[in-house]
Chain A
Amino acid sequence: MNAKGGIKVGNKHYKVRFVEYDDQSQGGRVQQLYTRLILQDKSQFLFSPYSSGLVATAAVISEQYGKIMLIGGGAEGKTYELGNKYLFQCITPADQYLSGAIAELKEHNPHAKVAFVYSDDPFSKAVVAAAREQAKQAGFTEVLDESYPPSTTDFTAIINKIISSGADTFLGGGHYSDGATLARQLHDQKAGMKWVSILVAPDSEKFKTLGAAANGITVPSQWEPQVKYKPQFGPSIAEFTSEYTLKYKDLPDYHAASGYQVGLLLQHAIEQARSIEPDKVAAALNKIDATTFFGRTKFATDPGHHGLQIAHQMVLAQWQMKGGKLVKEMVWPDAARTASVVYPLP
């Protein structure tokens, strides 16, 4: 961006300066660092930390100082019910994370017996709270509801509980290490699940290092390189993917894509507002209803949900064994489908 002269605002060009800190995933540090970003570093716009709990903490600071914060990694929706004016969620909210998995599973097993096993954190709880209702409406039976501390490293006992419950479907997880450990232990302990949807962890390319334990696992995803959107501005999907891969020697996951998306939306809003005044940029963001490489974006503007994402849609990916190699295929919705879903789990 800076090499191209910066962001054009009327006749001016603004160069972008990034300031970043490691919050170590600690709420206390988020509070200190966002205050520092505003007061010491004089940041004019903010990008969110990662995870719903930390976003809620950072939002208190950003709103207090009237700074726009774009959320690329915090899906829980409660934060948007607090009357915030400068928060903008760029990813699909948590309550829709498992709706694709439930819709697809219903096609294969309308009488699924579901075990909800999830991390005891705001994001995972919000996802499962909504999924529980969606599963009930789909006609599934809930046979187990179990949360676990986010620091859990061994799921042996929980998996025995799943087996005892007679479940044939697993929905849940939380973040990276717990989700991957769950997948491996479900496989090692031969839990006999016909369908497994795990949050976040299986989206990472690293997940395939689990080998056979990864085969058949589905993951709700905000974005995958295989999606087929026609952007109104910004790079195409192919451009983003190839540039990212060239720079980082790895395929982008949806966290990388949402990270790019927040910057892209901010740039677009500044250009549309022809100003860097927070109120004018916020007004431009409120008006956005556009499609980029990341998909469609529109923010709720009613005071009860201001900033909540209401247009972006998720996809459902599944790790499938093709020619002895694990590949991630899109299996839902039809518009994004790159392969038929494998059911039951191999």
Chain B
Amino acid sequence: MLGLLASILDGVLIGAVYGLAAMGITLIWGVMDVVNLTHGAMIVAGMFAAYVLVGAAGVPVYATLPIVLAGGFLVGVGLYWLSVHRVIGQPPLMSLLSTFAVNLVLVGLGTAVWGTDLFNVPASLPGFSLGRYTFPGTHLMAALLTGVIALALYFFLYRTRLGKAVRAVSNNREAAELVGIPTARVLALAFGLGVALASVAGMLIATMFPFTVLSGDAYQLKSFVVTVLGGLGNPTGALVAGIALGLVEGLTTPFVPVSWTLVIEFILFVVVLITVPGGLLTLFRRRRPA
């Protein structure tokens, strides 16, 4: 029983970080209908930024977070103008190809510089134990910081003028332009935010697990699953879905072989796509009276 509890708690902690990574994808999709295939590369960029800052510059591990966040944002804005701006409003395949091409370039550059060797960010924090089961401090801190970042994002989107502009563009770009919102700049801002979230998720993952230049694909795949479960374009849904996915992993792993976990996750993915395409949160929304 204690084992199951530990497994569920661990799943929730890790799931929150998956949720953070997925918030980046879903924000970009929600605002500009672009599936960002540089997402995995940006997660890896966050990992390597943390590695370089800690290893070469001696920055304390968690002090790298604001640097990675700011760096990710600037890179994201740059990427928007480089590869996304011209394909906004074009058929979805255009943005897919464009971001995929940039992804290939980034992975190629990363491989040329770092090879496919393994890298590790030396992070260690005291955790806590539940019987024989230990919850590493790095996992707890990652989940805590994810919560803080999610709250900050929520505050930004719902309580600031700029955040409201992002939501306005997301709802109706033409109407937003008619009321004087500079949509191109808002789109660049949203893309920058999405990439910043992916980078920070990468930085937090790097504090928990070793990584290589090619680690991004697995996290990108996970992010897509979480995005669909949470509802495309819904950052809160992504966080909730990430935690839900972690919960599912935690609940199933003690009873079935681990190799089945992925199968179960994808079954859930297909079931949600068919039955609640708007995401899991739509199940809990109250219907308005007629």
A residues whose Cβ falls under 8 Å from a Cβ of B: 120, 146-149, 151-154, 156-158, 160-161, 163-164, 176-177, 180-181, 184-185, 188-190, 192, 201, 204, 206-207, 209-211
Residue of A nearest to B253 (CB): A157
Complex partner residue of A211 from B122, B138, B218, CB under 8 angstroms = B122
Do residues A157 and B210 form an inter-chain contact, with CB atoms below 8 A? no
Complex partner residue of A189 from B119, B134, B211, CB under 8 angstroms = B134
Residues B221-262 near A (CB distance < 8 A): 249-250, 253-254, 257-259, 261-262
Q: How far is it, in angstroms, between the C-alpha of A185 and the C-alpha of B13 when the chains are bound? A: 15
- A184-B210, A210-B210 given as contacts; is B10 within 8 A of A190 (CB)? no
- A149-B259, A152-B258, A180-B118 given as contacts; is B138 within 8 A of A188 (CB)? yes
- A157-B253, A189-B136 given as contacts; is B120 within 8 A of A184 (CB)? yes
Contacts of A152 in B (CB 8 A): 218, 258
Pick the 9 closest A-B CB pairs, nearest first: A157-B253, A164-B3, A188-B136, A190-B134, A156-B10, A180-B210, A209-B120, A160-B7, A148-B258
B residues whose Cβ falls under 8 Å from a Cβ of A: 3, 6-7, 10-11, 14, 116-120, 122, 124, 127, 129, 132-136, 138-139, 208-212, 215, 217-219, 249-250, 253-254, 257-259, 261-262
Q: How far is it, in angstroms, between the C-alpha of A147 and the C-alpha of B257 when the chains are bound? A: 7
Do residues A147 and B122 form an inter-chain contact, with CB atoms below 8 A? no
Complex partner residue of B133 from A163, A181, A206, A207, CB under 8 angstroms = A163
Complex partner residue of B249 from A157, A181, A189, CB under 8 angstroms = A157
Do residues B259 and A120 form an inter-chain contact, with CB atoms below 8 A? yes
Do residues A148 and B259 form an inter-chain contact, with CB atoms below 8 A? yes
Do residues A157 and B133 form an inter-chain contact, with CB atoms below 8 A? no
Do residues B132 and A210 form an inter-chain contact, with CB atoms below 8 A? no
Nearest Cβ in chain A — how far from B38, in angstroms?
19
Do residues B219 and A153 form an inter-chain contact, with CB atoms below 8 A? yes
Nearest Cβ in chain A — how far from B219, in angstroms?
7
Complex partner residue of B218 from A151, A201, A210, CB under 8 angstroms = A151
Do residues A177 and B215 form an inter-chain contact, with CB atoms below 8 A? yes
Complex partner residue of B14 from A148, A156, A161, A164, CB under 8 angstroms = A156
Do residues B254 and A160 form an inter-chain contact, with CB atoms below 8 A? yes
Do residues B118 and A154 form an inter-chain contact, with CB atoms below 8 A? no
Contacts of A156 in B (CB 8 A): 10-11, 14, 139
Which among B117, B120, B122, B211 has the highest number of chain A CB atoms within 10 Å? B120
Q: A152-B218, A164-B3, A176-B118 are in contact. List 10 more A-B contacts (CB 8 A).
A: A147-B259, A148-B258, A148-B259, A154-B14, A157-B261, A177-B211, A180-B118, A188-B208, A209-B122, A211-B122
Q: How far is it, in angstroms, between the C-alpha of A189 and the C-alpha of B215 when the chains are bound? A: 22
Contacts of B116 in A (CB 8 A): 176
Do residues A206 and B261 form an inter-chain contact, with CB atoms below 8 A? no
Contacts of B261 in A (CB 8 A): 157
Contacts of B217 in A (CB 8 A): 151
Contacts of B117 in A (CB 8 A): 176, 204, 206
Residue of A nearest to B139 (CB): A156
Q: How far is it, in angstroms, between the C-alpha of A180 and the C-alpha of B208 when the chains are bound? A: 12
Q: How far is it, in angstroms, between the C-alpha of A157 and the C-alpha of B218 when the chains are bound? A: 17
Nearest Cβ in chain B — how far from A116, in angstroms?
12
Contacts of B139 in A (CB 8 A): 156
Nearest Cβ in chain B — how far from A15, in angstroms?
29
Nearest Cβ in chain B — how far from A251, in angstroms?
14
Do residues B209 and A163 form an inter-chain contact, with CB atoms below 8 A? no
Do residues A153 and B209 form an inter-chain contact, with CB atoms below 8 A? yes
Contacts of B254 in A (CB 8 A): 157, 160-161, 164
Do residues B133 and A160 form an inter-chain contact, with CB atoms below 8 A? yes
Contacts of B219 in A (CB 8 A): 153
Q: How far is it, in angstroms, between the C-alpha of A157 and the C-alpha of B5 when the chains are bound? A: 11
Residue of B nearest to A157 (CB): B253
Do residues B129 and A190 form an inter-chain contact, with CB atoms below 8 A? yes
Q: How far is it, in angstroms, between the C-alpha of A161 and the C-alpha of B253 when the chains are bound? A: 8
Which among B135, B219, B257 has the highest number of chain A CB atoms within 10 Å? B257
Q: How far is it, in angstroms, between the C-alpha of A185 and the C-alpha of B3 when the chains are bound? A: 16
Contacts of B138 in A (CB 8 A): 188
- A180-B120, A184-B210 given as contacts; is B258 within 8 A of A157 (CB)? yes
- A153-B215, A185-B209 given as contacts; is B10 within 8 A of A201 (CB)? no
Do residues A209 and B14 form an inter-chain contact, with CB atoms below 8 A? no
Contacts of A185 in B (CB 8 A): 209
20 contacts between A and B (CB under 8 A): A147-B258, A152-B258, A153-B209, A156-B10, A156-B14, A157-B254, A160-B10, A161-B3, A163-B133, A176-B116, A176-B212, A177-B210, A180-B118, A188-B138, A188-B208, A201-B118, A204-B117, A206-B118, A207-B118, A209-B122
Nearest Cβ in chain A — how far from B284, in angstroms?
27
Do residues B212 and A177 form an inter-chain contact, with CB atoms below 8 A? yes
- A164-B3, A189-B134 given as contacts; is B218 within 8 A of A158 (CB)? no
Do residues A177 and B118 form an inter-chain contact, with CB atoms below 8 A? yes
Residue of A nearest to B258 (CB): A148
Contacts of A149 in B (CB 8 A): 258-259, 262
Contacts of B258 in A (CB 8 A): 146-149, 152, 157-158, 161
- A120-B259, A160-B6 given as contacts; is B132 within 8 A of A192 (CB)? yes
Q: How far is it, in angstroms, between the C-alpha of A158 and the C-alpha of B257 when the chains are bound? A: 9
